[in-house]
């Protein structure tokens, strides 16, 4: 069992989501989609709970969660940082920018800092190619960034 | 309604098949052996994996632009198929080369070498170099459990293990996780198999075409023990081994090799060669007594007693209900499996008789099974840390050892087991086939319950390969209803029924592997041919029919064991040495 114990109200909500979808294994992706909104991620215990409700092995649920990039098993940081790796941003140096974020935060893509403040992800195009390279932090867009800006942004948020 | 018959042409031969037949099956009918890799369909059993994903079986179909996978393309009337054109052969070769480009070049030291389907294809397609370099999957998990070794670097993603684990066995321990270059087959949350619901039935190993899933090998340990003059090494052989070991030496499936197997074990240097069949007879004494006890109490109106009684010989089945049905741990018989009963008696009664101290006695078992390896390791089967059965090796491992010891198996004379632990009746022999334990129990329970001799000992209704079978037996006016299931998916259906109060049986036999132990995860590989399993089962029934004694309670050495040592079935001593208890292992 995972170390994370789900709060009672979350368990109730997950059960309710499954019920709304008729506890149908074919609805797994929709159920996971809604369940992820509850806590921002899908902890092991939540996946086991869903597997039990739908009568399918936990390995199947985990297989789906790890297949789709949208689903995540790590809690996002207070400031979720997403670096755009779309074509325009990429050719304007987003890879170096991403490396700098990794270096400064000391984490890899898909991870969260131990203090829970920052998490790092990639995304594909937010439709602001004119501002390339672009980084989104929460709902805020930062454009025309250079690698050196990574540290400044993080410090401004701390 | 009979399906419509259609005629097509494959490689200039006409063939008529029922509508719905695949090109692969139609070709097989006329002796054209189209190569496959991911596909497996063990006809007559529930073992199937038909994802049509590897593309090794492609053929040319006239009028069709692309090559068609023979395993998934249905025949149509007038179809013209070519299975060996230059285009087809090149396409197959490239597919195999691409698979090989991400497969470790470890054939020389791979435990699957010689029986690997990928290796066979490379040879068959005349692949002499590796033209594709570049992207390789990142290194994968390796794991050594008590029973199964998992080396995911060798996995080719045929998904056979996943189908067997999920659809056939409904265990759900293995599944594909992640995607692209990071894909692997693993238990939930990428944990170890030992932390999952895995029952160690070994059916994933039985269908793995490559060396990704293999058995935990104990042959080196055995060689060392046999060479140690301080140790007395004794061996017990499970019923299903004698019906399959011959296949490893080129004998046709279904060859009974009991005598040669005994001779080979003597040649290897075992001090005594005994038979698990003896312990199978003992199991019937204990399980039969327990069944009669529960039945009599039930018929006497005792509301406490729970029926049906379930057999408990199969360690994978025990693991299954401990993980998946922890609310029903009081239903299975408490009788230990024959392997463990043998170890227990060998290290007490027999050791005392012969004066060999427990710590100098090594009990080895030859099993068709991988779960038996795990079973030896269970703490409840140890005395002061010393296991009743030291370790178990599979039929395949024994065959390798015989070859390694320069023994020409087919030229060996037939030899007999040693006494007293090598004495058995026909009832013990049929334990190896699905339905056999129930049939053996019926032979004894009938006589003990009615007090009358049983005329015909053959209970045809419990034999066969149907996934679930039911039969009624007239016990002097009382209709005893029994059920048989093989394959854990079939077992699950019966258990769900019992859980929801829909039970029609007094007793049920369950075996984890399709076909029973003859189809166990430690047996010579069937490579998708189910006729091999049928032949092995027939061989066991043949050995049974040829025995003078065919009822467990008539085994003279079993009688001696009770007289000298145990008293009677379910006595205090028998409870202590031959029975067990179960644990809640739900995740």
Q: Kindly report the three-state secondary structure assignment for every residue of B518-559.
A: HHCCCCCCCCCCCHHHHHHHHHHHHHHHCCCCCCHHHCHHHH
Nearest by CB: B187 against A44, A59, A67: A59
Averaged pLDDT for residues B308-325: 96
- Whether residue B39 lies inside any domain: the answer is yes
Nearest by CB: A59 against B174, B178, B179: B174
- Whether residue A2 lies inside any domain: the answer is no
Confidence class for position B3, pLDDT limits 50, 70, 90: confident
Q: Domain end: A44, A67, A90, which one?
A: A67
pLDDT digits (tens, 9 = 90+) for B505-514: 999 999 999 9
Which residues, including other chains, have CB under 8 Å from residue A82's CB and lie 6 or more apart?
A121, A122, A123, A135, A136, A137
Q: How near does any CA of chain B get to the CA of A78, in Å?
A: 25
- Whether residue A73 lies inside any domain: the answer is no
pLDDT digits (tens, 9 = 90+) for B202-254: 999 999 999 999 999 999 999 999 999 999 999 999 999 999 999 999 999 99
Domain count, chain A: 2
Same domain, A85 and A29: no
Same domain, A50 and A84: no
Q: Is the dihedral of CA B466, B470, B472, B473 positive or negative?
A: positive
pLDDT at residue B392, rounded to an integer = 98
pLDDT at residue A2, rounded to an integer = 41
Same domain, A88 and A148: yes
Strand-strand pairing, B478-486 and B468-475: antiparallel
- Whether residue B571 lies inside any domain: the answer is yes
Contact B175 A56 (CB under 8 A): no
Query: How far is residue A117's CA from residue A157's CA, in Å, rounded to a whole number?
Result: 9
- Whether residue B349 lies inside any domain: the answer is no
In this model, does residue A35 exceed pLDDT 50?
yes
Q: Domain end: B93, B109, B124, which one?
A: B124
CATH code of the domain containing B105: 3.10.20.740
In this model, does residue A3 exceed pLDDT 70?
no
Instruction: Give, in order, the Cα–Cα distances in Å from B425 to each of B11, B216, B272.
Output: 52, 31, 19
pLDDT at residue A69, rounded to an integer = 79
- Whether residue B283 lies inside any domain: the answer is yes
Contact A59 B186 (CB under 8 A): yes
- 3-class SS at B236? strand
Q: Phi-psi region for residue B74, left (φ > 0), alpha (ψ -120 to 50) or beta?
A: beta
Q: Tally the residues of chain B.
A: 587
Same domain, A145 and A99: yes
- Whether residue A3 lies inside any domain: the answer is no
**Which residue of chain B has the CA closest to A64?**
B177
**Which stretch of DSSP H or E encloses residue B469?**
strand B468-475
State which of A127-131, B245-249, B528-532 shows the largest mean pLDDT. Answer: B245-249
- 3-class SS at A135? strand
Q: Which of B93, B112, B372, B551 is catalytic?
A: B372
Catalytic residue check, B62: no
Q: Domain end: A22, A37, A67, which one?
A: A67
Query: How far is residue B166's CA from residue B190's CA, in Å, rounded to a whole number?
Result: 16
What burial class does residue B107 get, using C-beta atoms within 10 Å of its C-beta: 0-12 exposed, 13-18 middle, 19+ buried? Answer: middle
Same domain, A59 and A105: no
Query: How far is residue A49's CA from residue B188's CA, in Å, rounded to a whole number?
Result: 13
At residue B303's C-alpha, the angle toward residues B297 and B307, to 5°, is 65
Contact A61 B188 (CB under 8 A): yes
B334, B312 in Cβ contact below 8 A?
yes
Provide the number of CB pairs (under 8 Å) joining chain A to chain B: 49
If you average pLDDT over every residue of chain B, what do you get?
Answer: 95
pLDDT at residue A158, rounded to an integer = 73
B256, B545 in Cβ contact below 8 A?
no
- Whether residue A95 lies inside any domain: the answer is yes
Percent helix, strand, coil in chain B (nearest 5)? 40, 15, 40
- Its ipTM equals 0.84
Same domain, A89 and A138: yes
Domain count, chain B: 2
Catalytic residue check, B333: yes
CATH code of the domain containing B489: 3.40.950.10
Catalytic residue check, B110: no
Same domain, A97 and A134: yes
Contact B178 A48 (CB under 8 A): no
Averaged pLDDT for residues B520-532: 95
In this model, does residue B526 exceed pLDDT 60?
yes
Averaged pLDDT for residues B285-290: 96
B211 touches chain A (CB under 8 A): no
Contact B189 A44 (CB under 8 A): yes
Query: How far is residue B374's CA from residue B201's CA, in Å, rounded to a whole number?
Result: 10
Same domain, A97 and A144: yes
**Which residue of chain B has the CA closest to A49?**
B587
Same domain, A150 and A84: yes
Torsion, Cα of B466, B520, B574, B310 (10° steps): -30
pLDDT at residue B135, rounded to an integer = 67
Catalytic residue check, B372: yes
Same domain, A20 and A59: yes
Contact A57 B186 (CB under 8 A): no
- Whether residue B411 lies inside any domain: the answer is no
pLDDT at residue B489, rounded to an integer = 96
What are the phi and psi torsion angles at B362 (to 5°)? -110, 120
Confidence class for position B303, pLDDT limits 50, 70, 90: confident
What are the phi and psi torsion angles at B350 (to 5°)? -70, -40
**Which stretch of DSSP H or E encloses residue B272?**
strand B272-275
- Whether residue A30 lies inside any domain: the answer is yes
Averaged pLDDT for residues B337-352: 97
A70 touches chain B (CB under 8 A): no
At B421, list the tokens.
């632990």
- Whether residue A24 lies inside any domain: the answer is yes
If you average pLDDT over every residue of chain A, what do you get?
Answer: 91
Strand-strand pairing, B382-383 and B272-275: unpaired
In this model, does residue A4 exceed pLDDT 60?
no
Contact A59 B173 (CB under 8 A): yes
Q: Domain end: B76, B97, B124, which one?
A: B124
| Domain assignment of residue B308, given as a range | 279-338+423-578
Nearest by CB: B176 against A51, A61, A63: A63
3-state secondary structure B161-216: HHHHHHHHCCCCCCEEECCHHHCEEECHHHCCHHHCCCCCCCHHHHHCCCCCEEEC
| Domain assignment of residue A34, given as a range | 8-67
Closest CA to B382 of B427, B350, B426, B347: B347
Helices (H), chain A: 8-20, 28-39, 44-54, 58-67, 87-91, 94-105, 149-157
Q: How near does any CA of chain B get to the CA of A66, in Å?
A: 4
- Whether residue B32 lies inside any domain: the answer is yes
In this model, does residue B45 exceed pLDDT 60?
yes
Query: How far is residue B76's CA from residue B81's CA, in Å, rounded to a whole number?
Result: 10
- Whether residue B164 lies inside any domain: the answer is no
What are the phi and psi torsion angles at B438 (to 5°)? -65, -45
Strand-strand pairing, B48-49 and B40-41: antiparallel
Burial B117-154 (b: 16+ CB within 10 A, else e): bbbebbeebeeeeeeeeeeebeebbebebbbbbbbbbb
- Whether residue B449 lies inside any domain: the answer is yes
In this model, does residue B136 exceed pLDDT 80?
no
Query: How far is residue B579's CA from residue B264's CA, in Å, rounded to a whole number?
Result: 32
Query: How far is residue B565's CA from residue B238's CA, in Å, rounded to a whole number?
Result: 24
Which residues are bridge partners to B59 per DSSP?
A: B68
B500 touches chain A (CB under 8 A): no
pLDDT at residue B239, rounded to an integer = 97
At B551, list the tokens.
């009822």
pLDDT at residue B43, rounded to an integer = 87
Burial B521-546 (b: 16+ CB within 10 A, else e): bbbbbbebebebbbbbbbbbbebbee
Q: Domain end: B89, B124, B159, which one?
A: B124
């Amino acid at each position: 069992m995972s170390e994370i114990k789900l709060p009672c109200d979350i368990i109730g909500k997950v059960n309710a989501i499954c019920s709304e979808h008729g506890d149908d294994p074919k609805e797994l992706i929709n159920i996971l989609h809604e369940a992820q909104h509850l806590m921002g991620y899908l902890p092991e215990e939540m996946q086991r709970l869903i597997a039990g409700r739908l009568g399918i092995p936990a390995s199947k649920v985990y297989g789906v969660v790890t297949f789709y990039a949208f689903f995540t098993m790590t809690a996002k940081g207070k400031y979720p940082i997403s670096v755009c790796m779309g074509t325009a941003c990429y050719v304007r140096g987003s890879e170096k920018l991403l490396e700098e974020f990794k270096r400064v935060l000391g984490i890899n893509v898909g991870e969260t800092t131990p203090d829970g403040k920052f998490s790092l992800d990639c995304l594909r195009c937010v439709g602001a190619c004119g501002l390339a390279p672009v980084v989104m932090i929460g709902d805020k867009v930062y454009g025309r960034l250079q690698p050196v800006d990574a540290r400044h942004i993080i410090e401004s948020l701390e | 309604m009979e399906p419509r018959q259609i005629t097509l042409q494959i490689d200039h031969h006409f063939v008529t098949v029922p509508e719905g037949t695949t090109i692969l099956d139609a070709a097989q009918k006329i002796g054209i052996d189209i190569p496959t890799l991911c596909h497996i369909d063990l006809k007559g059993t529930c073992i199937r994996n038909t994802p049509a994903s590897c593309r090794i079986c492609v053929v040319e179909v006239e009028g069709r632009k692309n090559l068609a996978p023979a395993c998934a393309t249905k025949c149509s009337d007038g179809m013209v198929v070519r299975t060996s054109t230059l285009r087809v052969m090149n396409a197959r070769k490239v597919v195999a080369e691409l698979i090989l480009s991400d497969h470790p070049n470890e054939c020389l030291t791979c435990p699957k070498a010689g029986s690997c389907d990928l290796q066979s294809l490379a040879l068959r397609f005349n692949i002499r170099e590796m033209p594709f370099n570049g992207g390789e999957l990142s290194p994968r998990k390796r794991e050594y459990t008590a029973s199964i070794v998992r080396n995911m670097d060798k996995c080719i993603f045929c998904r056979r293990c996943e189908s067997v684990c999920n659809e056939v066995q409904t265990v759900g321990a293995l599944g594909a996780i992640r995607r692209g270059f990071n894909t692997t087959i693993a238990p939930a949350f990428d944990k170890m198999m030992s932390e999952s619901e895995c029952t160690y039935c070994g059916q994933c190993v039985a269908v793995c075409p490559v060396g990704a899933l293999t058995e935990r090998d104990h042959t080196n340990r055995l060689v060392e023990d046999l060479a140690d003059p301080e140790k007395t090494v004794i061996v017990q052989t499970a019923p299903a081994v004698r019906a399959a070991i011959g296949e490893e030496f080129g004998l046709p499936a279904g060859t009974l090799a009991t005598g040669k197997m005994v001779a080979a074990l003597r040649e290897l240097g075992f001090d005594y060669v005994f038979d698990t069949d003896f312990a199978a007879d003992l199991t019937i004494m204990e399980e039969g007594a327990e069944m009669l006890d529960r039945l009599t109490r039930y018929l006497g109106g005792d509301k406490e007693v729970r029926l049906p009684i379930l057999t408990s010989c199969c360690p994978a089945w025990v693991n299954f209900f401990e993980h998946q049905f922890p609310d029903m741990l009081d239903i299975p018989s408490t009788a230990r499996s024959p392997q463990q009963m043998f170890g227990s008696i060998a290290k007490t009664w027999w050791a005392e008789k012969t004066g060999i101290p427990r710590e100098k006695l090594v009990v080895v078992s030859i099993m068709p099974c991988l779960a038996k390896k795990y079973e030896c390791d269970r703490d409840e089967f140890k005395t002061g840390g010393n296991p009743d059965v030291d370790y178990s090796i599979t039929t395949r491992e024994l065959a390798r050892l015989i070859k390694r010891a320069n023994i020409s198996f087919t030229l060996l004379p037939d030899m007999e087991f040693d006494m007293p632990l090598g004495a058995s009746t026909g009832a013990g022999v049929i334990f190896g086939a699905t339905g056999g334990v129930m049939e053996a129990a019926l032979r004894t329970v009938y006589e003990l319950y009615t007090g009358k001799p049983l005329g015909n000992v053959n209970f045809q209704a419990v034999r066969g390969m149907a996934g679930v079978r039911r039969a009624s037996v007239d016990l002097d006016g009382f209709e005893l209803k029994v059920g048989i299931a093989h394959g854990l998916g079939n077992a699950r259906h019966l258990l769900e029924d019992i859980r929801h109060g829909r039970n029609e049986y007094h007793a049920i036999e369950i075996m984890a592997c399709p076909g029973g132990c003859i189809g166990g995860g430690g047996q010579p590989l069937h490579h998708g041919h189910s006729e091999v399993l049928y032949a092995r089962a027939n061989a066991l029934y043949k050995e049974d029919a040829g025995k003078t004694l065919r009822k467990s309670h008539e085994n003279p050495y079993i009688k001696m064991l009770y007289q000298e040592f145990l008293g009677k079935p379910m006595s205090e001593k028998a409870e202590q040495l031959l029975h067990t208890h179960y644990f809640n292992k739900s995740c």
